[in-house]
Chain A
Protein backbone atom coordinates (compact mmCIF):
# COMPACT_ATOMS: atom_id res chain seq x y z
CA UNK A 1 0.00 0.00 0.00
CA UNK A 2 1.04 3.51 -0.72
CA UNK A 3 1.69 5.71 2.28
CA UNK A 4 -1.23 7.96 3.17
CA UNK A 5 0.43 11.24 2.55
CA UNK A 6 2.17 10.81 -0.75
CA UNK A 7 0.52 12.95 -3.36
CA UNK A 8 1.75 14.12 -6.70
CA UNK A 9 1.75 17.53 -8.26
CA UNK A 10 1.79 17.11 -12.03
CA UNK A 11 2.15 19.66 -14.83
CA UNK A 12 1.03 18.71 -18.33
CA UNK A 13 2.22 20.88 -21.23
CA UNK A 14 -0.43 21.34 -23.89
CA UNK A 15 0.05 22.69 -27.36
CA UNK A 16 -2.71 23.79 -29.66
CA UNK A 17 -2.10 22.86 -33.30
CA UNK A 18 -3.93 23.46 -36.59
CA UNK A 19 -6.01 20.63 -37.96
CA UNK A 20 -3.64 19.27 -40.59
CA UNK A 21 -6.31 17.62 -42.72
CA UNK A 22 -7.77 21.02 -43.57
CA UNK A 23 -6.52 23.17 -46.42
CA UNK A 24 -3.73 25.32 -45.01
CA UNK A 25 -2.25 28.43 -46.54
CA UNK A 26 0.77 30.49 -45.61
CA UNK A 27 0.39 33.84 -43.86
CA UNK A 28 1.32 37.21 -45.36
CA UNK A 29 4.96 37.00 -44.32
CA UNK A 30 5.13 33.35 -45.47
CA UNK A 31 6.55 32.39 -42.07
CA UNK A 32 3.64 30.33 -40.73
CA UNK A 33 0.11 29.46 -41.65
CA UNK A 34 -2.71 31.93 -42.13
CA UNK A 35 -5.19 32.17 -39.30
CA UNK A 36 -8.79 32.13 -40.37
CA UNK A 37 -12.20 30.64 -40.16
CA UNK A 38 -11.29 27.74 -42.42
CA UNK A 39 -8.49 26.60 -40.12
CA UNK A 40 -9.60 24.48 -37.19
CA UNK A 41 -7.41 24.31 -34.10
CA UNK A 42 -7.26 21.41 -31.69
CA UNK A 43 -5.09 19.93 -29.00
CA UNK A 44 -1.86 18.26 -30.15
CA UNK A 45 -2.82 14.58 -30.17
CA UNK A 46 0.35 13.54 -28.34
CA UNK A 47 -0.70 15.78 -25.45
CA UNK A 48 -3.99 13.92 -25.11
CA UNK A 49 -1.95 10.85 -24.18
CA UNK A 50 0.03 12.97 -21.70
CA UNK A 51 -3.16 14.16 -19.99
CA UNK A 52 -4.60 10.65 -19.89
CA UNK A 53 -1.44 9.31 -18.24
CA UNK A 54 -1.60 12.06 -15.61
CA UNK A 55 -5.27 11.24 -14.96
CA UNK A 56 -4.34 7.59 -14.52
CA UNK A 57 -1.69 8.52 -11.98
CA UNK A 58 -4.31 10.53 -10.07
CA UNK A 59 -6.60 7.51 -10.10
CA UNK A 60 -3.82 5.47 -8.50
CA UNK A 61 -2.65 8.15 -6.06
CA UNK A 62 -5.51 10.06 -4.57
CA UNK A 63 -4.83 13.68 -3.75
CA UNK A 64 -2.79 14.14 -6.90
CA UNK A 65 -3.27 17.52 -8.55
CA UNK A 66 -2.95 17.99 -12.32
CA UNK A 67 -2.19 21.40 -13.81
CA UNK A 68 -1.99 22.11 -17.53
CA UNK A 69 -0.14 24.98 -19.17
CA UNK A 70 -0.16 26.26 -22.72
CA UNK A 71 1.91 28.93 -24.41
CA UNK A 72 0.23 30.68 -27.32
CA UNK A 73 -2.19 33.36 -28.52
CA UNK A 74 -5.71 33.78 -27.13
CA UNK A 75 -7.16 30.89 -29.13
CA UNK A 76 -5.24 28.33 -27.04
CA UNK A 77 -7.86 28.84 -24.33
CA UNK A 78 -10.03 26.31 -26.16
CA UNK A 79 -7.28 23.69 -25.90
CA UNK A 80 -6.97 24.45 -22.19
CA UNK A 81 -10.76 24.11 -21.79
CA UNK A 82 -10.49 20.78 -23.56
CA UNK A 83 -7.83 19.67 -21.08
CA UNK A 84 -10.22 20.52 -18.20
CA UNK A 85 -12.86 18.38 -19.90
CA UNK A 86 -10.33 15.59 -20.05
CA UNK A 87 -9.76 15.74 -16.32
CA UNK A 88 -7.09 18.36 -15.62
CA UNK A 89 -7.68 20.26 -12.34
CA UNK A 90 -6.23 23.73 -13.00
CA UNK A 91 -5.17 25.41 -16.24
CA UNK A 92 -2.71 28.21 -16.98
CA UNK A 93 -2.31 30.28 -20.10
CA UNK A 94 1.01 31.93 -20.91
CA UNK A 95 0.05 34.43 -23.60
CA UNK A 96 2.34 35.46 -26.42
CA UNK A 97 1.62 38.21 -28.91
CA UNK A 98 2.04 36.14 -32.04
CA UNK A 99 -0.13 33.67 -33.88
CA UNK A 100 2.95 32.57 -35.80
CA UNK A 101 5.68 30.11 -34.99
CA UNK A 102 7.12 30.23 -31.47
CA UNK A 103 10.56 28.74 -31.08
CA UNK A 104 11.20 25.78 -28.78
CA UNK A 105 13.74 27.90 -26.93
CA UNK A 106 11.08 30.48 -26.09
CA UNK A 107 8.34 28.01 -25.16
CA UNK A 108 10.66 25.94 -22.98
CA UNK A 109 12.00 29.05 -21.26
CA UNK A 110 8.50 30.35 -20.48
CA UNK A 111 7.29 27.01 -19.17
CA UNK A 112 10.45 26.45 -17.12
CA UNK A 113 10.12 29.90 -15.53
CA UNK A 114 6.47 29.22 -14.78
CA UNK A 115 7.19 25.80 -13.29
CA UNK A 116 10.34 26.69 -11.36
CA UNK A 117 8.68 27.99 -8.21
CA UNK A 118 5.67 25.69 -8.28
CA UNK A 119 7.39 22.50 -7.12
CA UNK A 120 5.95 19.97 -9.53
CA UNK A 121 6.90 16.34 -8.91
CA UNK A 122 6.32 15.44 -12.51
CA UNK A 123 6.17 17.44 -15.75
CA UNK A 124 4.63 15.63 -18.70
CA UNK A 125 4.85 16.60 -22.37
CA UNK A 126 3.88 14.97 -25.62
CA UNK A 127 6.74 13.39 -27.54
CA UNK A 128 6.27 15.84 -30.41
CA UNK A 129 4.03 18.64 -31.63
CA UNK A 130 2.15 17.75 -34.81
CA UNK A 131 2.75 21.14 -36.42
CA UNK A 132 6.43 21.93 -35.96
CA UNK A 133 7.48 18.30 -35.34
CA UNK A 134 10.49 19.06 -33.16
CA UNK A 135 10.39 16.87 -30.06
CA UNK A 136 12.68 19.17 -28.10
CA UNK A 137 10.47 21.40 -25.95
CA UNK A 138 10.28 18.73 -23.23
CA UNK A 139 14.02 18.01 -23.10
CA UNK A 140 14.73 21.76 -23.10
CA UNK A 141 12.37 22.39 -20.18
CA UNK A 142 14.11 19.61 -18.21
CA UNK A 143 17.56 20.99 -19.01
CA UNK A 144 16.53 24.51 -17.98
CA UNK A 145 15.18 23.21 -14.68
CA UNK A 146 18.09 20.81 -14.21
CA UNK A 147 15.82 17.81 -13.63
CA UNK A 148 16.18 14.32 -15.12
CA UNK A 149 14.09 13.47 -18.15
CA UNK A 150 13.06 10.49 -20.23
CA UNK A 151 11.48 10.63 -23.65
CA UNK A 152 8.97 8.61 -25.64
CA UNK A 153 7.72 6.61 -22.69
CA UNK A 154 5.29 3.73 -23.13
CA UNK A 155 5.00 2.72 -19.49
CA UNK A 156 5.34 4.49 -16.16
CA UNK A 157 5.19 3.34 -12.54
CA UNK A 158 5.80 5.53 -9.52
CA UNK A 159 7.44 3.96 -6.50
CA UNK A 160 5.56 3.78 -3.21
CA UNK A 161 7.35 6.60 -1.50
CA UNK A 162 6.78 8.97 -4.38
CA UNK A 163 10.49 9.58 -4.85
CA UNK A 164 11.16 7.86 -8.16
CA UNK A 165 9.46 6.64 -11.30
CA UNK A 166 10.31 3.64 -13.47
CA UNK A 167 9.64 4.15 -17.16
CA UNK A 168 9.97 2.23 -20.39
CA UNK A 169 11.12 4.28 -23.35
CA UNK A 170 10.54 3.34 -26.95
CA UNK A 171 13.73 3.34 -28.99
CA UNK A 172 12.63 1.43 -32.09
CA UNK A 173 10.49 -1.55 -33.00
CA UNK A 174 13.05 -3.93 -31.54
CA UNK A 175 13.59 -2.65 -28.04
CA UNK A 176 12.61 -0.49 -25.11
CA UNK A 177 14.83 0.92 -22.41
CA UNK A 178 13.86 0.72 -18.77
CA UNK A 179 15.00 3.70 -16.72
CA UNK A 180 14.55 4.82 -13.13
CA UNK A 181 14.32 8.57 -12.59
CA UNK A 182 14.37 10.51 -9.35
CA UNK A 183 11.50 12.93 -8.86
CA UNK A 184 11.04 15.68 -9.77
CA UNK A 185 11.51 14.76 -13.41
CA UNK A 186 10.10 15.34 -16.86
CA UNK A 187 8.64 12.67 -19.14
CA UNK A 188 7.53 12.88 -22.76
CA UNK A 189 4.72 10.49 -23.59
CA UNK A 190 4.49 8.46 -26.81
CA UNK A 191 1.15 7.52 -28.39
CA UNK A 192 -0.17 4.09 -27.51
CA UNK A 193 0.85 4.31 -23.82
CA UNK A 194 -2.88 4.49 -23.04
CA UNK A 195 -6.19 5.10 -24.75
CA UNK A 196 -7.28 8.69 -24.09
CA UNK A 197 -10.87 8.61 -22.90
CA UNK A 198 -13.69 10.92 -23.90
CA UNK A 199 -14.57 13.68 -21.45
CA UNK A 200 -17.21 12.76 -18.90
CA UNK A 201 -20.32 14.90 -18.68
CA UNK A 202 -19.37 16.06 -15.21
CA UNK A 203 -15.95 17.18 -16.42
CA UNK A 204 -17.54 19.02 -19.33
CA UNK A 205 -19.85 20.85 -16.91
CA UNK A 206 -16.97 21.63 -14.56
CA UNK A 207 -14.84 22.96 -17.43
CA UNK A 208 -17.61 25.39 -18.40
CA UNK A 209 -17.54 27.00 -14.97
CA UNK A 210 -13.81 26.93 -14.46
CA UNK A 211 -11.62 29.98 -14.93
CA UNK A 212 -8.29 30.00 -16.72
CA UNK A 213 -5.39 31.71 -14.97
CA UNK A 214 -3.37 33.98 -17.20
CA UNK A 215 0.31 33.95 -16.28
CA UNK A 216 2.63 36.81 -16.92
CA UNK A 217 6.09 35.30 -16.94
CA UNK A 218 8.45 38.09 -16.19
CA UNK A 219 12.10 37.90 -17.04
CA UNK A 220 14.58 38.82 -19.67
CA UNK A 221 14.30 36.77 -22.84
CA UNK A 222 16.64 38.87 -24.93
CA UNK A 223 19.57 36.50 -24.49
CA UNK A 224 17.61 33.44 -25.67
CA UNK A 225 19.12 31.75 -28.70
CA UNK A 226 16.36 31.07 -31.17
CA UNK A 227 16.51 30.04 -34.80
CA UNK A 228 15.68 32.59 -37.50
CA UNK A 229 12.62 31.65 -39.51
CA UNK A 230 13.38 32.31 -43.19
CA UNK A 231 9.93 31.19 -44.23
CA UNK A 232 7.78 28.29 -45.38
CA UNK A 233 7.47 26.71 -48.80
CA UNK A 234 4.37 24.74 -49.73
CA UNK A 235 4.86 21.01 -50.41
CA UNK A 236 4.82 18.70 -52.16
CA UNK A 237 6.59 20.75 -54.83
CA UNK A 238 5.84 18.10 -57.37
CA UNK A 239 4.30 14.68 -57.40
CA UNK A 240 6.88 12.04 -57.99
CA UNK A 241 4.72 9.61 -59.89
CA UNK A 242 1.79 9.62 -62.26
CA UNK A 243 -1.58 10.97 -61.20
CA UNK A 244 -4.59 8.95 -62.29
CA UNK A 245 -7.42 11.07 -63.64
CA UNK A 246 -10.98 10.54 -64.75
CA UNK A 247 -13.99 9.00 -63.08
CA UNK A 248 -13.57 6.64 -60.15
CA UNK A 249 -14.04 3.64 -62.44
CA UNK A 250 -11.53 5.00 -64.93
CA UNK A 251 -9.00 5.48 -62.17
CA UNK A 252 -9.64 1.95 -60.91
CA UNK A 253 -9.18 0.54 -64.41
CA UNK A 254 -6.01 2.54 -64.93
CA UNK A 255 -4.56 1.22 -61.68
CA UNK A 256 -5.52 -2.36 -62.54
CA UNK A 257 -3.80 -1.97 -65.89
CA UNK A 258 -0.61 -0.78 -64.20
CA UNK A 259 -0.75 -3.65 -61.70
CA UNK A 260 -1.16 -6.15 -64.54
CA UNK A 261 1.71 -4.64 -66.46
CA UNK A 262 3.91 -4.99 -63.43
CA UNK A 263 2.68 -8.59 -62.91
CA UNK A 264 1.47 -7.73 -59.47
CA UNK A 265 -2.00 -9.15 -60.01
Chain B
Protein backbone atom coordinates (compact mmCIF):
# COMPACT_ATOMS: atom_id res chain seq x y z
CA UNK B 1 0.00 0.00 0.00
CA UNK B 2 1.14 3.50 -0.73
CA UNK B 3 1.72 5.05 2.69
CA UNK B 4 2.29 8.57 1.48
CA UNK B 5 1.35 10.16 4.80
CA UNK B 6 3.51 9.41 7.82
CA UNK B 7 2.47 10.52 11.27
CA UNK B 8 5.48 11.20 13.46
CA UNK B 9 4.31 10.95 17.04
CA UNK B 10 6.97 12.22 19.42
CA UNK B 11 6.50 11.30 23.10
CA UNK B 12 8.90 13.77 24.60
CA UNK B 13 7.93 13.25 28.21
CA UNK B 14 5.68 16.30 28.49
CA UNK B 15 1.92 16.31 28.82
CA UNK B 16 -0.06 13.13 28.12
CA UNK B 17 0.43 12.44 24.42
CA UNK B 18 -3.27 12.40 23.56
CA UNK B 19 -2.18 14.07 20.36
CA UNK B 20 -1.86 10.77 18.45
CA UNK B 21 -5.63 10.65 17.89
CA UNK B 22 -5.57 14.23 16.60
CA UNK B 23 -2.72 13.43 14.23
CA UNK B 24 -4.61 10.39 12.95
CA UNK B 25 -7.66 12.53 12.25
CA UNK B 26 -5.55 15.17 10.57
CA UNK B 27 -3.88 12.48 8.45
CA UNK B 28 -7.28 11.05 7.55
CA UNK B 29 -8.43 14.47 6.36
CA UNK B 30 -5.23 14.87 4.35
CA UNK B 31 -5.59 11.38 2.89
CA UNK B 32 -9.07 12.27 1.66
CA UNK B 33 -7.35 14.85 -0.56
CA UNK B 34 -4.26 12.88 -1.58
CA UNK B 35 -5.95 9.51 -1.92
CA UNK B 36 -2.91 7.89 -0.34
CA UNK B 37 -2.45 5.76 2.75
CA UNK B 38 -1.50 6.62 6.29
CA UNK B 39 1.17 5.10 8.50
CA UNK B 40 2.71 6.21 11.78
CA UNK B 41 6.13 6.32 13.36
CA UNK B 42 6.14 6.43 17.15
CA UNK B 43 9.20 7.94 18.75
CA UNK B 44 9.73 7.72 22.48
CA UNK B 45 11.35 5.76 25.25
CA UNK B 46 8.81 3.01 24.53
CA UNK B 47 8.16 3.80 20.88
CA UNK B 48 7.97 0.15 19.83
CA UNK B 49 5.29 -0.72 22.40
CA UNK B 50 3.35 2.37 21.38
CA UNK B 51 3.68 1.36 17.73
CA UNK B 52 2.08 -2.02 18.39
CA UNK B 53 -0.77 -0.40 20.29
CA UNK B 54 -1.32 2.22 17.60
CA UNK B 55 -1.36 -0.46 14.89
CA UNK B 56 -4.14 -2.25 16.80
CA UNK B 57 -6.11 0.86 17.71
CA UNK B 58 -6.01 2.63 14.37
CA UNK B 59 -5.48 -0.36 12.07
CA UNK B 60 -2.62 1.26 10.25
CA UNK B 61 0.94 0.17 9.64
CA UNK B 62 3.25 1.57 12.24
CA UNK B 63 6.92 1.91 13.00
CA UNK B 64 8.41 2.38 16.42
CA UNK B 65 11.78 3.48 17.68
CA UNK B 66 12.89 3.25 21.31
CA UNK B 67 14.95 6.31 22.16
CA UNK B 68 17.16 6.16 25.25
CA UNK B 69 16.19 8.74 27.89
CA UNK B 70 19.54 10.48 27.47
CA UNK B 71 18.76 11.25 23.79
CA UNK B 72 15.04 11.96 24.13
CA UNK B 73 15.48 15.72 23.64
CA UNK B 74 18.16 15.53 21.01
CA UNK B 75 15.88 16.35 18.12
CA UNK B 76 18.81 16.45 15.73
CA UNK B 77 19.58 12.83 16.55
CA UNK B 78 15.91 11.92 16.31
CA UNK B 79 15.54 13.74 12.98
CA UNK B 80 18.54 11.83 11.65
CA UNK B 81 17.06 8.56 12.85
CA UNK B 82 13.66 9.33 11.26
CA UNK B 83 15.41 10.16 8.01
CA UNK B 84 17.13 6.77 8.02
CA UNK B 85 13.90 4.91 8.84
CA UNK B 86 12.05 6.70 6.04
CA UNK B 87 14.85 6.11 3.55
CA UNK B 88 13.11 3.23 1.84
CA UNK B 89 9.56 4.51 2.19
CA UNK B 90 7.94 6.87 -0.29
CA UNK B 91 6.56 9.42 2.13
CA UNK B 92 5.19 12.74 0.87
CA UNK B 93 3.77 14.22 4.06
CA UNK B 94 5.11 14.00 7.60
CA UNK B 95 2.70 15.09 10.33
CA UNK B 96 3.98 16.25 13.72
CA UNK B 97 2.17 17.87 16.67
CA UNK B 98 2.74 21.61 16.93
CA UNK B 99 3.93 21.82 20.51
CA UNK B 100 7.34 23.19 21.45
CA UNK B 101 9.25 19.89 21.13
CA UNK B 102 7.24 19.00 18.02
CA UNK B 103 8.15 22.21 16.18
CA UNK B 104 11.74 21.68 17.23
CA UNK B 105 11.72 18.24 15.65
CA UNK B 106 9.84 19.49 12.57
CA UNK B 107 12.44 22.17 11.81
CA UNK B 108 15.21 19.59 11.96
CA UNK B 109 13.26 17.07 9.89
CA UNK B 110 12.56 19.60 7.16
CA UNK B 111 16.27 20.31 6.78
CA UNK B 112 17.33 16.66 7.05
CA UNK B 113 14.73 15.46 4.56
CA UNK B 114 15.01 18.47 2.26
CA UNK B 115 11.30 19.03 2.79
CA UNK B 116 9.24 22.17 3.00
CA UNK B 117 7.68 22.90 6.37
CA UNK B 118 4.21 24.27 7.11
CA UNK B 119 3.55 24.91 10.78
CA UNK B 120 0.60 25.19 13.17
CA UNK B 121 -1.97 23.92 10.68
CA UNK B 122 -5.58 24.11 11.87
CA UNK B 123 -7.53 23.24 8.72
CA UNK B 124 -7.02 21.65 5.34
CA UNK B 125 -8.94 22.40 2.20
CA UNK B 126 -8.68 21.36 -1.38
CA UNK B 127 -8.30 24.08 -3.98
CA UNK B 128 -7.61 24.25 -7.67
CA UNK B 129 -4.00 25.10 -6.90
CA UNK B 130 -3.57 22.07 -4.65
CA UNK B 131 -4.08 21.18 -1.01
CA UNK B 132 -4.23 24.30 1.14
CA UNK B 133 -2.98 24.13 4.72
CA UNK B 134 -4.51 26.87 6.83
CA UNK B 135 -2.92 28.46 9.87
CA UNK B 136 -3.71 31.56 11.89
CA UNK B 137 -0.97 34.13 12.29
CA UNK B 138 -0.43 37.48 14.02
CA UNK B 139 -2.25 36.45 17.20
CA UNK B 140 -5.26 35.30 15.23
CA UNK B 141 -5.78 38.39 13.07
CA UNK B 142 -5.26 36.60 9.76
CA UNK B 143 -5.47 33.10 8.40
CA UNK B 144 -2.68 32.16 6.04
CA UNK B 145 -3.18 29.49 3.46
CA UNK B 146 -0.11 27.64 2.22
CA UNK B 147 0.68 24.83 -0.13
CA UNK B 148 3.63 22.51 -0.23
CA UNK B 149 6.47 23.56 -2.46
CA UNK B 150 8.26 20.30 -3.04
CA UNK B 151 7.93 16.54 -3.16
CA UNK B 152 8.04 16.30 0.64
CA UNK B 153 6.33 18.39 3.27
CA UNK B 154 6.56 18.43 7.05
CA UNK B 155 3.29 19.67 8.54
CA UNK B 156 2.91 20.56 12.20
CA UNK B 157 -0.65 20.24 13.46
CA UNK B 158 -2.06 22.70 15.98
CA UNK B 159 -3.25 20.81 19.09
CA UNK B 160 -7.01 20.97 19.57
CA UNK B 161 -7.78 21.58 15.89
CA UNK B 162 -8.73 18.02 14.97
CA UNK B 163 -10.88 15.48 16.78
CA UNK B 164 -9.22 12.82 18.90
CA UNK B 165 -11.53 9.90 18.36
CA UNK B 166 -12.37 8.01 15.20
CA UNK B 167 -9.85 6.77 12.72
CA UNK B 168 -9.07 6.31 9.09
CA UNK B 169 -12.10 5.53 6.96
CA UNK B 170 -11.95 2.31 5.01
CA UNK B 171 -9.12 0.69 6.96
CA UNK B 172 -9.90 -2.82 8.04
CA UNK B 173 -7.96 -5.70 9.49
CA UNK B 174 -4.92 -4.89 11.55
CA UNK B 175 -1.80 -2.99 10.79
CA UNK B 176 1.67 -4.31 11.26
CA UNK B 177 4.25 -2.76 13.57
CA UNK B 178 7.96 -2.63 12.83
CA UNK B 179 10.45 -1.88 15.59
CA UNK B 180 13.56 0.08 14.60
CA UNK B 181 16.92 0.52 16.26
CA UNK B 182 17.84 4.02 17.46
CA UNK B 183 21.23 5.03 16.13
CA UNK B 184 22.52 8.36 17.37
CA UNK B 185 24.45 9.97 14.57
CA UNK B 186 24.35 13.51 15.97
CA UNK B 187 25.36 13.83 19.60
CA UNK B 188 26.43 16.90 21.52
CA UNK B 189 23.40 16.94 23.77
CA UNK B 190 22.37 14.90 26.79
CA UNK B 191 19.29 14.96 29.00
CA UNK B 192 20.03 15.68 32.63
CA UNK B 193 16.62 15.05 34.13
CA UNK B 194 13.26 16.65 34.49
CA UNK B 195 12.30 19.32 37.01
CA UNK B 196 8.67 19.10 38.12
CA UNK B 197 6.82 22.29 38.99
CA UNK B 198 6.47 22.82 42.72
CA UNK B 199 3.24 24.76 42.60
CA UNK B 200 0.51 24.35 45.17
CA UNK B 201 -1.72 27.28 44.14
CA UNK B 202 -4.99 25.60 43.14
CA UNK B 203 -7.12 28.78 43.08
CA UNK B 204 -7.79 28.53 39.35
CA UNK B 205 -9.00 24.95 39.64
CA UNK B 206 -11.45 25.80 42.39
CA UNK B 207 -12.90 29.11 41.18
CA UNK B 208 -16.30 29.21 39.47
CA UNK B 209 -15.45 32.47 37.78
CA UNK B 210 -12.05 33.56 36.48
CA UNK B 211 -11.30 37.17 35.67
CA UNK B 212 -8.22 37.24 33.49
CA UNK B 213 -5.93 40.16 32.72
CA UNK B 214 -3.93 40.53 29.52
CA UNK B 215 -1.23 42.92 28.43
CA UNK B 216 -4.07 45.30 27.58
CA UNK B 217 -4.46 46.22 31.26
CA UNK B 218 -1.40 48.38 30.62
CA UNK B 219 0.07 48.51 34.11
CA UNK B 220 0.31 46.63 37.38
CA UNK B 221 -1.88 49.29 39.01
CA UNK B 222 -4.78 48.37 36.73
CA UNK B 223 -4.87 44.90 38.30
CA UNK B 224 -7.03 46.60 40.93
CA UNK B 225 -9.77 46.84 38.26
CA UNK B 226 -9.52 43.09 37.74
CA UNK B 227 -9.65 42.48 41.51
CA UNK B 228 -12.67 44.73 41.92
CA UNK B 229 -14.46 42.94 39.11
CA UNK B 230 -13.65 39.60 40.76
CA UNK B 231 -15.18 40.99 43.95
CA UNK B 232 -18.60 41.07 42.26
CA UNK B 233 -18.74 37.28 42.24
CA UNK B 234 -19.10 34.73 45.01
CA UNK B 235 -16.21 32.49 44.04
CA UNK B 236 -13.88 34.21 41.63
CA UNK B 237 -10.13 34.09 41.11
CA UNK B 238 -7.89 36.27 39.01
CA UNK B 239 -5.60 34.99 36.30
CA UNK B 240 -3.44 36.38 33.52
CA UNK B 241 -1.97 35.81 30.10
CA UNK B 242 1.68 34.91 29.87
CA UNK B 243 3.00 38.47 29.41
CA UNK B 244 1.21 39.55 32.60
CA UNK B 245 3.07 36.82 34.50
CA UNK B 246 6.35 37.59 32.70
CA UNK B 247 6.02 41.20 33.93
CA UNK B 248 5.63 39.72 37.40
CA UNK B 249 2.22 41.40 37.82
CA UNK B 250 0.85 37.95 38.71
CA UNK B 251 2.60 34.74 39.75
CA UNK B 252 3.08 32.02 37.11
CA UNK B 253 0.64 29.82 39.01
CA UNK B 254 -2.04 32.16 37.62
CA UNK B 255 -0.95 31.92 33.99
CA UNK B 256 -3.58 30.42 31.71
CA UNK B 257 -2.70 28.77 28.41
CA UNK B 258 -0.68 26.18 26.63
CA UNK B 259 2.26 26.57 29.00
CA UNK B 260 0.09 27.55 31.94
CA UNK B 261 -3.08 26.25 33.54
CA UNK B 262 -5.91 24.66 31.62
CA UNK B 263 -9.02 25.99 33.32
CA UNK B 264 -12.70 25.06 33.16
CA UNK B 265 -14.69 27.65 35.14
CA UNK B 266 -18.37 28.45 34.68
CA UNK B 267 -17.28 31.79 33.32
CA UNK B 268 -13.99 33.11 31.97
CA UNK B 269 -13.78 36.88 31.59
CA UNK B 270 -10.87 37.92 29.36
CA UNK B 271 -9.85 41.55 29.82
CA UNK B 272 -7.31 43.00 27.38
CA UNK B 273 -6.31 39.59 26.03
CA UNK B 274 -5.77 39.31 22.26
CA UNK B 275 -6.67 35.63 22.00
CA UNK B 276 -3.48 34.03 20.68
CA UNK B 277 -3.86 30.27 20.16
CA UNK B 278 -1.45 29.59 23.01
CA UNK B 279 -3.78 31.40 25.38
CA UNK B 280 -6.98 29.87 23.98
CA UNK B 281 -5.46 26.42 24.51
CA UNK B 282 -5.99 26.98 28.24
CA UNK B 283 -9.66 27.96 28.15
CA UNK B 284 -11.27 25.39 25.89
CA UNK B 285 -12.92 23.92 28.99
CA UNK B 286 -14.56 27.21 30.03
CA UNK B 287 -18.35 27.01 29.80
CA UNK B 288 -18.99 30.69 29.12
CA UNK B 289 -16.53 33.27 27.86
CA UNK B 290 -16.87 37.04 28.10
CA UNK B 291 -14.26 39.31 26.52
CA UNK B 292 -13.56 43.00 26.68
CA UNK B 293 -11.05 44.37 24.21
CA UNK B 294 -10.61 47.77 22.57
CA UNK B 295 -9.78 46.17 19.22
CA UNK B 296 -12.92 44.95 17.39
CA UNK B 297 -10.67 42.64 15.36
CA UNK B 298 -9.15 40.88 18.38
CA UNK B 299 -9.15 37.11 17.94
CA UNK B 300 -10.56 36.57 21.43
CA UNK B 301 -13.94 37.63 19.98
CA UNK B 302 -14.00 34.53 17.81
CA UNK B 303 -14.26 32.34 20.92
CA UNK B 304 -16.23 34.65 23.25
CA UNK B 305 -19.93 34.17 24.00
CA UNK B 306 -20.27 37.83 24.91
CA UNK B 307 -18.14 40.44 23.14
CA UNK B 308 -17.58 43.94 24.51
CA UNK B 309 -15.58 46.29 22.34
CA UNK B 310 -14.39 48.91 24.81
CA UNK B 311 -11.47 50.24 26.80
CA UNK B 312 -11.35 48.03 29.88
CA UNK B 313 -10.13 50.97 31.96
CA UNK B 314 -13.51 52.58 31.46
CA UNK B 315 -15.70 49.53 31.11
CA UNK B 316 -14.70 47.60 34.24
CA UNK B 317 -15.27 50.56 36.61
CA UNK B 318 -18.64 51.16 34.93
CA UNK B 319 -19.52 47.49 35.37
CA UNK B 320 -18.61 47.53 39.08
CA UNK B 321 -20.44 50.78 39.60
CA UNK B 322 -23.65 49.53 37.90
CA UNK B 323 -23.47 46.26 39.85
CA UNK B 324 -23.12 48.13 43.15
CA UNK B 325 -25.91 50.58 42.47
CA UNK B 326 -28.10 47.68 41.42
CA UNK B 327 -28.78 49.06 37.94
CA UNK B 328 -30.34 45.71 37.07
CA UNK B 329 -31.47 42.87 39.19
Interchain nearest-CB distance for A193 vs B (Å): 9
The answer to whether A230 and B192 have CB atoms under 8 Å apart is no
A176: CB under 8 A from chain B?
yes
A37: CB under 8 A from chain B?
no
Pick from B30-38, B168-176, B182-190, B220-228 the stretch touching chain A. Answer: B182-190
Q: Which residues of B contact A20 (CB under 8 A)?
A: 138-139, 141, 274
Interface membership of chain A positions 143-161, coded 1 if the CB is closer than 8 angstroms to chain B and 0 otherwise: 1101111111000000000
CA distance A140 to B111 in the complex (A): 6
- Chain B, Cβ-Cβ closest to A135: B103
B301: CB under 8 A from chain A?
yes
The answer to whether B327 and A249 have CB atoms under 8 Å apart is yes
The answer to whether B73 and A248 have CB atoms under 8 Å apart is no
Q: Which residues of B contact A108 (CB under 8 A)?
A: 107, 111
The answer to whether A255 and B233 have CB atoms under 8 Å apart is no
Q: Which of B107, B129, B143, B189 contacts A148 (CB 8 A)?
A: B189
Q: Which residues of A contact B105 (CB under 8 A)?
A: 139
CA distance A169 to B246 in the complex (A): 16
| Best-surrounded residue of A148, A173, A182, A185 (most CB of chain B within 10 A) | A173
Q: Which residues of B contact A148 (CB under 8 A)?
A: 74, 76, 186-189
- Chain A, Cβ-Cβ closest to B116: A225
The answer to whether B146 and A230 have CB atoms under 8 Å apart is yes
The answer to whether A174 and B101 have CB atoms under 8 Å apart is no
Interface membership of chain B positions 49-63, coded 1 if the CB is closer than 8 angstroms to chain A and 0 otherwise: 000000000000000
The answer to whether B303 and A240 have CB atoms under 8 Å apart is yes
- B-contacting residues, A147-202, CB 8 Å: 147-152, 166, 168-182, 185, 190-192, 195
Q: Which of A130, A131, A134, A256 contacts B120 (CB 8 A)?
A: A134
The answer to whether B306 and A175 have CB atoms under 8 Å apart is no
Q: A143-B107, A179-B190 are in contact. Are A231 and B196 (CB under 8 A)?
A: no
The answer to whether A225 and B145 have CB atoms under 8 Å apart is no
The answer to whether B103 and A134 have CB atoms under 8 Å apart is yes
- Chain A, Cβ-Cβ closest to B307: A243
A217: CB under 8 A from chain B?
no
Q: Which of A166, A172, A244 contacts B192 (CB 8 A)?
A: A166
The answer to whether B197 and A131 have CB atoms under 8 Å apart is no
A238: CB under 8 A from chain B?
yes
The answer to whether A151 and B101 have CB atoms under 8 Å apart is yes
Interface membership of chain A positions 225-240, coded 1 if the CB is closer than 8 angstroms to chain B and 0 otherwise: 1111111111111111
- Chain A, Cβ-Cβ closest to B329: A260
The answer to whether A132 and B116 have CB atoms under 8 Å apart is no
The answer to whether B246 and A143 have CB atoms under 8 Å apart is no
The answer to whether A169 and B138 have CB atoms under 8 Å apart is no
B48: CB under 8 A from chain A?
no
- Chain A, Cβ-Cβ closest to B314: A248
CA distance A238 to B302 in the complex (A): 7
- Chain A, Cβ-Cβ closest to B120: A133
Q: A168-B195, A233-B143, A264-B267 are in contact. Are A180 and B301 (CB under 8 A)?
A: no
| Best-surrounded residue of B140, B190, B310 (most CB of chain A within 10 A) | B190
Interchain nearest-CB distance for A179 vs B (Å): 5
A205: CB under 8 A from chain B?
no
- A-contacting residues, B130-166, CB 8 Å: 130, 132-133, 135-150, 152-153
9 shortest interchain CB distances as A-B pairs: A139-B107, A236-B302, A143-B111, A136-B107, A241-B305, A171-B14, A225-B150, A148-B188, A225-B116
